[in-house]
Amino acid sequence: MTILVTGGAGFIGSNFIFHMLAKYPDYRIVCLDKLTYAGNLSTLASVMDNPSFRFVKLDICDRQGVYRLFEEEHPNMVVNFAAESHVDRSIENPEVFLQTNILGTQVLMDACRKYGIDRFHQVSTDEVYGDLPLDQPDLFFTEDTPIHTSSPYSASKAGADLLVLAYHRTFGLPVTISRCSNNYGPYQFPEKLIPLMIANALNDKPLPVYGQGLNVRDWLYVEDHCIAIDLILHRGRVGQVYNIGGHNEMRNIDIVKIICAALGKSESLITHVTDRKGHDMRYAIDPAKIHNQLGWLPETKFADGIRKTIRWYLDNREWWEEIISGEYRNYYERMYGGR
């Protein structure tokens, strides 16, 4: 079995590679990554010498390069993590999101049609559903919830999802889609909420919280997400969408306060900044379908997952300090400096 993992030098993709190499030592894992700002080759250092692993620096929009890689490796499955994924960046520059997230997905599926594939799996997001009201906690996203996007990022992911389902219906491509809630855990790029707050708190820097921090997210520990995708690949039904949620709804402000307490930092570091344009209020997933069909449930409670995550960032300061000392600092100033 050869599995092509795109975007494998990013946060969730790298964790998925670690999971698959550990669980299936007889599988070959090929990682394709463009190594944009969020792709970090040092993340994969522990597996680079593994004979069952190959890394290829490549853009999924590069049709000739992708076809060449398919000719060399003949993957049985493709798991597409490759995506521009930060909402703020999509507001700054929507075009690159459309190119990578939609056209790049098309290139991958065209390669799958040309060379044959057992499964193409698209890793999507609950953000394609829009948001839910704060005053109706009994409402959840299901696979039948209409798509109602709020940002260029979520619109690009929804467009890719629709294209994937169209390739299944039109060309018979064997596809599955998963839509996950907010992930957290080791190796997350420090522009996202949890690693950003950990890094800033450790450096006694302001903790920028959008608006009043009342936005609610359903948090999913990254290892639980990887287990779910593994199950979908091996037992999921072709042509189906599966929602993957953590049953861990938390307000942003409460997460920041948990991090302050865990690190022994004062909540006076919290700084409320101008809210994001079109900021979704609440995400919450009903994972009943994947539970009923595949037996999956999240194993990691938020209290345990956040403790493990904070410990990882404490033990791996070199990894994230190298990131925030580079180009990211300029971007960070553009995002938060004037607020």
How far apart are alpha carbons 69 and 63 in whole angstroms? 10
318 is catalytic: no
Given 33, 59, 84, 127, which residue is catalytic? 127
Q: Are 50 and 22 in contact (CB under 8 A)?
A: no
254 is catalytic: no
275 is catalytic: no
What number of other Cβ atoms are within 10 A of residue 314's Cβ? 12
Phi, psi dihedral angles at 192 (to 5 degrees):
-80, 160
Amino acid at 52: S
Given 33, 59, 84, 126, which residue is catalytic? 126
How far apart are alpha carbons 134 and 114 in whole angstroms? 46
Given 129, 153, 242, 313, which residue is catalytic? 153
Residues ≥6 apart with Cβ < 8 Å to 185: 11, 15, 221, 222, 223, 305, 308, 309, 312
Which of 204-240 are b and which e, b meaning 16 or more Cβ less than 10 Å from the residue's Cβ? eeebbbbeebebbbbbbbbbbbbbbbbbbbeebeeeb
Positions marked catalytic: 126-127, 153
